[in-house]
Structure 1
Amino acid sequence: MKLATIYHEDSEKAVLIKQETAYLMNHVNKATGKQWSEDLLLLLQKGEFHEVRDWYEKEGKNQLYPENGFSMNTVSFAPLFRHPEKVFGVGMNYLEKALELSGKPPEEEPVIFMKPNSSIIGTGETIQIPSQSPNVAGEAELAIIIGKTCENVKESDFWDVIAGFTTSLDMTARDIQNLNPRFLQRAKSFNTFCSFGPCLITADELPELSSLKIETILNGSVCHENVIANMMYQPAFIVSFFSQIMTLQPGDVILTGTPGSVLIQEGDVLECRITGFPSLTNPVKSHVHK
């Protein structure tokens, strides 16, 4: 199943995507007689996501007709949602990236950080280079969307607690990070420094997870690429690790690390491309104080 959020009549509405057509949740509700949330985050938080998925798999695919939806070419995507309870990130999750930043192999536990909701943007929205740090790096990453409230999750239970995956771009203010590694959190937290979406895709719609290829693309050229199989900390480990620190909630987002970062500047277009997903693309501008 594929879900997204689009701009519709001056608001942001959840849609279910079948092939190349997007269906507003209010149309899905008419087809089912349900009253499922029209907001994607609420759909997750209220436990309705799993009901929608079950309906879609059992009968919904045959109850959605293109004339009742919007062509994917005509819609404008928003972020999947703007106010998740938590957005986490894992740093240096590929050996090449770890050596690039620290010059040595990683420690036994991953480097982690959090992103504020104010950093969230969606595809097509502008990444702003802050005046405090003109040297900003962008990184393409696979993001995990949590589907159930959970804690102390076993790696073997990974598939039971996630809703699905999406594409993401994680930005870092390199000037600040290079002053002192302890400044990583500040370097990650500027406005527009976390782009994610446009689609949340469940595992059954994707190839084998370990085979997914992640590409960091700048101005149409592939700068870095790698596959999930080469992560030092696999997605199941990452979810288990975070769940042993704090309770995870539906809609929490976990950025799983990048195959490589690229410096960005005004006029650039940064892109995350992952096997099986639509591209996530953001233009870049320098921030101007008003």
Structure 2
Amino acid sequence: MRLVTLAESGQGSAGIVTGDRVIPLTGVNESLGTTWPTTVLGLLRTGEAAALSGWLRERGGEVLSGIPSIPLEQAQLGPLYHGAVNVWGVGANFREKAANMAVVPPEMEPICFLKPASTMIGPGQAILLPDGAGRITAEAEIGLVIGRTCKHVSPEEAPHVIAGIVLTLDMTAQDVHARNPRFLGRSKSYDTFFSFGPELVGMDEIGDLDALDVQTVLNGSVRYRSCVSDMIYSPWLILSYFSRMMTLYPGDIIMTGTPGSVDIQEGDTAECRVGTLIPLRNPVVQERIRTIL
């Protein structure tokens, strides 16, 4: 199953991607009399995402063929969802990047950080460069989207608790972090410093996760790329690690590391590419300071 959010639908209705077309979930309900939650986060939090995926596997071609759809290339795709979800990341998880940084992550103890909900943006939305923050970088990563509430998950159980994967871009204020390693969390917490989307892709669409090629792209040029198999800590080990610390909830996202980061400036476009999935692209602009009361 592949899900997107249609920006032109007002509240952001979920859409099912099938081939080169998108079928709004509101249209599915209207045509078939079903009562699926019509937002991606609603599907996740009610546990209906897994049920919808199973329903589509069993009856997808039969039930969707006659429902009005939108060409994927014409669809306006918005943020998958907004809300109070946890976004976690790990650092220096690709072997080559860790070697270039001269970083040796502790055995069985990934370097981790948390990003606040205010960092979240979606495809096409602007990454804002904070005034006075100095050098800013962007890095492409695969994110694991939690599909059901869980804790103390083993690596073997991890594939069964996720709703799927999502492309992400993680931004960092490098000069802030360079002043003190303890400022890692602060350097990643500015507004718009986490982008994800444009689609949530179920594992039934992925096949071999280890074979996925992750690319950090700047202005259309691939700057870094590496396969998931080159990670120091596998995605399933990372999920298990976080689940031993805290309860994971539907919609939570765990980033799994990047093959490399690029400096970004106003006018740039940062991009995450993974295999044949829809790329995640965000323009970069200088923040115009305004007061919110």
TM-score normalised according to structure 1 size: 0.96
Whole-angstrom CA distance in 2 between matches of 1:43 and 1:285 = 33
Q: Are the counterparts in 2 of residues 140 and 215 from structure 1 also a CA contact under 8 Å? A: yes
Partner of 1:267: 267
The corresponding residue for 2:87 is 87
Cα offset for 1:107? 1.3
Q: Which moved more, 1:231-240 or 1:103-112?
A: 103-112
Distance 1:79 1:9, change over 3 A: closer
CA displacement at 1:105 relative to structure 2: 2.0
**1:1-290 to 2 correspondences below 5 Å:** 1-65=1-65, 68-101=68-101, 103-108=102-107, 109-290=109-290
| CA distance in 1 between partners of 2:37 and 2:132 (Å) | 40
Q: State how far apart, in whole Å, the 1-side matches of 2:103 and 2:143 are.
A: 25
- Once residues 32 and 248 of structure 1 are traced to their aligned partners in structure 2, the CA distance between those partners, rounded to angstroms, is 33
TM superposition score normalised by structure 2: 0.95
CA contact (8 A) 1:84 1:253 kept: no
Tell which deviates more after alignment, 18-27 or 219-228.
18-27
2: CA distance, partners of 1:260 / 1:24: 36
**CA separation of 1:190 and 1:66: change in aligned 2, threshold 3 A:** farther
| CA spacing shift, 1:60–1:31, aligned 2, 3 Å | farther
- TM superposition shift of 1:207: 3.5
Matches of 1:197 and 1:85, distance apart in 2: 15
Deviations 1:22-55 (A, max 9, x none): 1111112234422111111111010111111111
The offset of 1:104, in angstroms, is 3.4
Aligned-pair CA distance for 1:159: 1.6
Distance 2:52 2:84 in 1: 20
Q: Deviations over 1:167-217 (max 9, x none)?
A: 000000001000011000010011110000001111111231000000001
Rounded to whole Å, the distance in 2 between the matches of 1:249 and 1:236 is 16
Cα RMSD (Å) of the superposition?
A: 1.3
> SS at 2:73's partner residue?
coil
CA deviation profile, 1:41-85 (whole Å, cap 9, x unmatched) = 111010111111111000022211376011112211111111142
Higher mean displacement: 210-219 or 34-43:
34-43
Aligned equivalents of 1:287, 1:252: Cα separation in 2:
27
Task: Return the alpha-carbon distance in structure 1 between the equivalents of residues 34 and 103 of structure 2.
Answer: 54
Aligned counterparts of 1:3 and 1:129: Cα–Cα separation in 2: 30
Structure 1 residues 229-266: Cα deviation after superposition (integer angstroms, max 9, x where no partner): 00001011011000000000111101110000011001
Identity, in percent, stands at 40
Gaps of 5+ in 1: none
The 4+ residue runs of structure 1 with deviation greater than 4 A are none
Supply the distance in 2 between the matched residues of 1:33 and 1:241 (Cα, whole angstroms). Answer: 41
Kindly provide the amino acid, as one letter, of the partner of residue 216 in structure 1: T
More displaced stretch, 90-99 vs 45-54: 90-99
Aligned partners of 1:229, 1:254: CA distance in 2, in Å? 17
Q: For 2:156, what is the secondary structure of its paired residue?
A: helix
**Cα distance in 2, alignment partners of residues 66 and 205 from structure 1:** 23
**1:12 Cα deviation from its structure 2 partner:** 1.2
Question: Which deviates further from its counterpart, 158-167 or 8-17?
Answer: 8-17
Task: Work out whether residues 21 and 70 of structure 1, in 8 Å CA contact, stay in contact via their aligned partners in 2.
Answer: yes
Q: How many pairs align?
A: 289
Question: AA paired with 1:260?
Answer: G
Aligned 8 A contact 2:92 2:103 in 1: no
